[in-house]
Chains A and B, each alone.
Chain A
Amino acid sequence: MSFTRMVIASFALAFATNGSLAQSAPWEAAPQQQLPSGSPFLLQAPETGAALAQQSPVSPFALSITQPGAAQATAPAAPAANKVDETALRYYAQNGEIGRVSAEIKRLKSLHPDWQPPENIYDQNRVEVNEQPLWDLFATGRTQELYAKIRDYIKLYPGYEPSDELRRQIINAEARKTLIQASELGNHQEVIQTAIKNADLLTCQEIDMIWRTAKALNETGQDVKALEAYRYILTNCANEDERKATVQKAAEILPRNAVEQLVSLGRTGLDGRSEFNEIYLDLLRGEVGEGATDPAMMVEKSDLDALANSATKLQNPNDAELLGWYYYSREEFKTATKWFQAAYKLRPTPKAIEGMVVSMKEEGDYEEAEELAYKNRRKDPLILKAYLEVVSIQLLEGYGAEMDFKRLSRFANVVQDAQSPIAAQVFGWHFFNTLELDEAEIWFTKSMEFQPNEAAAVGLIVVAQRKKQKTRERQLIAEWSNKFPAIKMLGNTQLAAASATRSSSSGGSRSSGSSYLRSAEQEISTGDYAGALPFLERNAMSGQESRKAKLLRAWALYHTGRSKEAHKLFAEADKSRSTTETRQGKWFSEKKMYRYN
C-alpha cells in the first residue's frame, strides 16, 4: 500500500490542545471540506520530525536517525485564555468516556475557577454513523472498497470523520502486516527495514512492533540497538503490563547486565518497590510451583519466606495460592487453608476456592468446606467434585441426620445435575440408613442410570430385601451377578453383611461397625431410639452384630413402634439364651403387637 502525502491540519488542531487525544492519532485524514471534489480518500503518514512532534508529546521510537530533543518538543499552543475550550470535554462525553470527562472537568476547573461544565455534554448531538460496515471491510482486507465507502460516508453524513481508531488502524495495518510476516519468517533485515520506513509503527500503541524489531536487531547482532528499543519503551510507554513484558522479553535474549539496566528503569510504586520486582519473584514462583507438584523436592525456606512476604506484604493472590498448594502437597492442611484463604481474600478465584475446600475437607472442617464448595460449584468442575465429595463423606460418616432440608435438597439437585453415580449411591445409603426406603431406591436407581456400579446394585437388592420384594430381589441378583462378582457370591442370608463392604468400594467411609454402635449408644443415652436405629441397622449389616447390639436394636425397634420386628429379635435372642431382658422384651412387644397391630 502506498500513501500519497497530503498536508492537513485543521482536524488535528481541533484536538491539539489535548495531548493524549492527538497521541492516539499519529496521522490525520483530510477533512472533507479540503478535498477537491471527486478526489480519492487519502491516507497519509505524516513526515517525521516537527509536524509529528507538534501533535504528539511522545515521538515514536526513532530507529534510523537519532533525534535528541524530539520527545521534549514544544508543547501545544495553549487556548486563548478567556475562552474555555470544551472540545475535548464534549468529545469524551460523546464517547462515553466518563473517567476522562471527570479528569477534563477537573483540568478545566483548575484553569478557569469560575467555569461550570455545560449540562448538555452527553446529549445526543453528533452524527450517528455506524462504522461497522467499514470495520467489516477493514477486517476482511478489502482496502479499496473501504476507501470508497469512507468517501461515500463523508458525502452522506455531513461532518463525519472516520473514528480515530479506524484511521489509525488503517494506516498501520499494512506496515504491521509486512513486519509481522517478516518477523514470523525470520527475515530480520526486512523487519528492520520496514520499521525504519514506517517510523510511526514504533509507538507505545504498537508495542508488539517494537518488540519484534528489537528481536530482529538482536538476531542481527545489534544488541545495543535492541537494548535501546527496550529502553525506549521503558522511558516512554505507560502500560504496566507491556512494560513488564518488555523486561521479560529482554531477559530472554539480552545478557544479564543489560536486563539489569532495564530493571533499573522500573518506576517505583507507592510501596517503594520497583515495578519489576515481580520479575525476580517469578523465578521463585517457578521453584515453589515445582515443589508443589513434586513433594520430594526441597524448597529453601528463605524462598518460601520471600514468597510469603510477597503474598502478605505485596498482597499477591497468586503467591498466596501457590503457597497453599505447596503446603497442601506437604499435607500441612491448616497452613494450606490459611494461604488459600489469604489468596481468596485478595482475589476470589476458583482455584483458591478449590484449595480452601480440599484443605478444609482434609482437615475435617466439613460443613465449612461444604458451604464454600456449594456456593462456588459452578465456577469449576473440580469445586463441584469437591462439593460432592465433602457431602458424601459426611453422609458416609453418619452425619446425614444432622443435615437440614436445604442442605439435602441442594445436594440432591447437584447430584442430579452432575449425574454422579458415586454421590447418588451414597445418597441412597443415607436414605437407607434413615429408613426412607422409597427415597433410597430412587437414588440407587439414579446411580445405576448414571453408571451401573456395585454399591448401587447392592443397595437396590438390600432395599428389595427390606421391602420384602422377593421377586425383585431375585431379579436384581440375577441381573447384576454377572457384572459384579460380589453380588454373585451373595446368598440372601449374606446380603446384609455384604452391603457393608460397599463402603470400601465406594472409597470414603471410615466407619466401622463398632463406631455405629457407639453412635447408637449415644443416641439412646439421650432417649432418641429413632435416631439410634439407623446406626444399629448399619451395625447389623456389618454381619458382626453382638448379642448386646442385637438387643439394643430390638429395643429401638420396640420404641419406634415396630413391635413385630422387635418381637422377632427378642424371640431369637431368647431362644439362644433366655434372660430376664429377652423375656421382658418378648412380653412387652407381644403386648404392643396385639394391641395395636
Chain B
Amino acid sequence: MTTGMALFLSLAPATAEPVFGESARDKEAVSLWLGSAWRDYTSRHMTPEGAIIDDANEGISHSEGQGYGMVLAVAVDDRETFRRIRDYTYENLQVRKDRLFAWKVQHTPDGPNVADTNNATDGDLLIAWALLEAYKSWGDLDDLASARAVLSDIADTLLQQTALGPVLVPGSEGFVSADHQTVTVNPSYWVYPALETIAQFDTSANWGEVAVVGEDVLDLSQRAPSYLPPDWVDIGGLKLEPSEKFTPEFGYNAIRVPLYLALSTNALRMKKAADFSTLRGFDDPRGPSVTHVVTGEPKSVMGGIGFRAITALTRCMDKAEPFPTELLQIGTGDYYSTTLQIFTILAIAERYPQCLSPEW
C-alpha cells in the first residue's frame, strides 16, 4: 500500500491546479446529486462498451459526445467509466491518418461503423481536455502524452491565420475556401475551459492567444438586432458575417457559448457569460429560442432542461437570480440536453455555488 502510494505520488502532476469538478464534489449535497445524475447519464446515454449515444441524432456516437463523457467521468471521479469511454474512443474513432478523431460513428448490427472520417475540432478539444483532467486527477502519464498528441495535430492542421489572428477551423475538410480567403468557424468550438487547461500543459500552439481570438470572433459576431451569436460565421479578409453556408441562426451550437464562458476561470469571460442574460430569450422560462440573427425573430424554443439551465445560469451570474430547483431534475432530457445540464450544475457548484444556496 505504501509503495503503491509512493509510486502514484511520483507520477502525479506537479501542478496544484484543481481538477475540474473537484470543488463541486467537496459539497456533499452536490456530490450526491452528481452521483445520481451520472448514474442516470451512463444508464441512459452510454453503452456498456463506453459509447455515448446521441439519442436525438439517430443514435449515433460522435467525438463531441465521447469528449463530454470523458470530461464528466473525471469530474465525478469515476475512473473506471473514464477508461471505458476513453478506450472505446481510441479504438473506434481514432481511425484517421493523423491522431485526431473521426467525428461520426453509426451503430450497426455488425458493430460500430465510422460514417465520416472528417474530424470535429470541438470534439478533439474536449477529448484532449478530458485527458488532461484525467492526468491531473489520477497522474497517468499516458493520458498526458495522448492529449499532447491530439493537440499537436490540432495545432498543425486546424489553426488558420486571419486578420483577427489564428482561428480554430471546425474540421480538417470543408471549412476553408479554396483561395484561403474565407474561413467558416463556429464560435461554440472555442471551449474556453478546455483551452485554459490546455494552455498549461501544451506548447504546440499559443492556446492562450487562440482563446483570445475566439473572444474577438465572438464579439464581432454579436450583432444587432439580437446580439445573439450565430452558430456559424464566415471570416473573410476584414469582414466577419453570419456564414452563408448555414441558416444565420443562434441555435443548438451557440447556446453552449455562455456555458463555456461561465466555465472559464477568466473574469472577463465570466462577465461575457453574465452579459448573455440580457439577450433575447434568455429570460424566457420555457428556455432560449433558436433565433434568426439577421431579423432577430425567434423560431422555436429549444426544448430541454439543459438549455433552460444555461440561461438560468447567466441570469444568476448577472442578477443573482436563484437557480430554479426544477432544473436539477434528473432523468428527463436527451443526451445533449442532459450533458449541458450536468455541465451547468458543475459550473454553478464550482464557481457560483450561491446560485444553489445563499449560504455557499
**Contact residues of A with B, CB < 8 Å?**
93, 95-103, 105, 117, 119-124, 348, 376, 378-379, 405-406, 409-410, 413, 417-418
Contact = CB atoms under 8 A, between A and B. Distances in A.
A418 B224 contact: yes
Contact of B275 (A102, A123, A379): A379
A378 B28 contact: no
A406 B239 CA distance: 11
A405 B164 CA distance: 8
Nearest to A119: B35
A105 B28 CA distance: 8
23 contacts: A93-B33, A96-B329, A98-B30, A99-B357, A101-B29, A102-B28, A105-B28, A117-B28, A120-B36, A121-B32, A121-B36, A122-B33, A122-B328, A378-B227, A378-B278, A406-B216, A409-B238, A409-B239, A409-B240, A410-B220, A413-B223, A417-B223, A417-B224
B164 A406 contact: yes
User: For B36, B40, B240, B271, which residue has the most chain A Cβ atoms within 10 angstroms?
Assistant: B36
Across the A-B interface, give the 5 residue pairs with the lowest CB-CB distance, nearest first.
Answer: A99-B357, A96-B328, A417-B224, A96-B325, A122-B36
A18 to B, nearest CB: 16
B238 A405 contact: yes
B19 interface: no
Contacts of A99: 29, 356-360
Interface in B67-96: none
A587 to B, nearest CB: 41
Contacts of B330: 122-124
Given A119-B32, A121-B32, A410-B219, A98 B328 contact: yes
Interface of B: 27-30, 32-33, 35-37, 39-40, 163-164, 216, 219-220, 222-225, 227, 238-240, 271, 275, 278-279, 325-331, 356-360
B286 to A, nearest CB: 12
User: For A97, A98, A123, which residue has the most chain B Cβ atoms within 10 angstroms?
Assistant: A98
B309 to A, nearest CB: 11
B303 to A, nearest CB: 15
A46 to B, nearest CB: 27
A348 B268 CA distance: 12
B36 A102 contact: no
Nearest to B356: A98
Contacts of A124: 40, 330-331
Contacts of B219: 410
B77 to A, nearest CB: 14
A78 B238 CA distance: 72
A123 B39 contact: yes
B278 A379 contact: yes
Contact of B326 (A96, A123, A413): A96
Nearest to B33: A122
A122 B327 contact: no
B357 A98 contact: yes
B36 A103 contact: no
Given A378-B222, A378-B227, A123 B30 contact: no
Contacts of A102: 27-29, 357, 359-360
Contacts of A406: 164, 216
A523 B108 CA distance: 71
Given A121-B36, A123-B40, A348-B271, 5 more contacts: A101-B32, A117-B28, A119-B32, A379-B275, A417-B223
Nearest to B354: A99
B292 to A, nearest CB: 15
A449 to B, nearest CB: 16
B33 A98 contact: yes
Nearest to A109: B28
A121 B329 CA distance: 12
Contact of A117 (B27, B32, B163, B239): B32
User: For A103, A378, A410, which residue has the most chain B Cβ atoms within 10 angstroms?
Assistant: A378
Nearest to B322: A99
Nearest to B35: A119
Nearest to A376: B275
Contacts of A98: 29-30, 33, 325, 328, 356-357
Contacts of A120: 36
B209 to A, nearest CB: 14
A529 to B, nearest CB: 25
Contacts of A121: 32, 36
Contacts of A378: 222, 227, 275, 278-279
Contacts of B271: 348
User: For B29, B222, B279, which residue has the most chain A Cβ atoms within 10 angstroms?
Assistant: B29
Contacts of B357: 98-100, 102-103
B237 to A, nearest CB: 10
A399 to B, nearest CB: 20
Contacts of A348: 271
Contacts of B225: 417
Contacts of B327: 96
A105 B275 contact: no
